[in-house]
Amino acid sequence: MIGASQAAGLALASVLIIAVPGPSVLFIVGRALAHGRRIAIATVVGNAFGSLVAGVVVAVGLGELLARSEVLFHVIKYAGAAYLVFLGVHALLAHRAPSPEQAAEASARPGWWATARQGLLVGVTNPKVFVLYAAILPQFVVPTAGNVTAQMLLLALVPVAIGLATDLVWAVAASTVRGWFTRSPRRLRRIGQAGGVSIIGLGVATAFAGDPR
C-alpha cells in the first residue's frame, strides 16, 4: 500500500529530525544514569509505544484537532511536564541515602513493566510528537495509492522504528558510563541524583517551551 520511495523519503526525514537529541533522548539518558541499562531500555520501549500511539492518533484524524486546539495542547503539555518532574523527584529521593547500606537499598530499580508504562506515558503526553506527525506524515501519503488512513498508519512505523533504534544507542551508552559510578556508593548516588535533576529540568523546560505549532 505504501511504496519504497515513500518509506525511504520518510526515513530520511525522520533521521534528520531524530539525529538531533530532543526531550525523549534527555529523558532516556536521565533514566539510564539514575537506574541503569535495564530500566533505560524499558523506558525506550515504552516511549516507542507512546510514539506509535501518537502516530495512530494522527492517522485517524485527531492530530489535526490537537494542532488546532490551544486548550487541549496545553493540557497535554503541562500534564507531561508535571509527570516528568514527578519522575525526576522520585529518582532524586531514591538516591539521597548517605550510607552504603542505604545507597544499596535506594538504588533498587523499579520493575521493567512499570518503567515501560512510565515511558509510554511520557511519549503519549508529549504534544510535540503529535504535531510533528501531523506535519510530516501527510507529506508522504499518495491519495491514489489506497486508503489514506492505512497509509499513515504504516508510515508511522518508520519514525517509530528509527527512534527506537537511536534511543537504544543512547540508553546503552549512558548506562555504560554509569557502570563506572557503580563501583562507589557515593559516585552512584551522585550520578543517580544527576539523572533525577536532568529529568526535572526537562519537565520544567517542557512546561515553559514555546508552542511549536
Average pLDDT of every residue of the chain = 76
The residue extents of the domains of the chain are 4-205
The residues, any chain, with a CB within 8 Å of residue 153's CB and separated by 6 or more, are: 55, 56, 59
Please tell me the pTM assigned to this model: 0.67
Q: What is the pLDDT of residue 83?
A: 75
Identify the pLDDT of residue 210: 58
Asked if 48 and 167 count as a contact pair (C-beta separation under 8 A), the reply is yes
pLDDT of residue 38: 92
User: What pLDDT is stored for residue 168 in this prediction?
Assistant: 94
Please report the pLDDT score of residue 139 as a whole number. Answer: 73
pLDDT under 50 in the chain at which residues?
A: 98-107, 212
| pLDDT of the residue at 131 | 67
**What's the pLDDT at 196?**
74
What DSSP letter does each residue of 47-102 carry, written as one string?
Answer: HHHHHHHHHHHHHTTHHHHHHH-HHHHHHHHHHHHHHHHHHHHHHHHHT---SHHH
**What does the pLDDT read at residue 103?**
45
What is the spatial distance between Cα 151 and Cα 137, in angstroms, rounded to a whole number?
A: 9
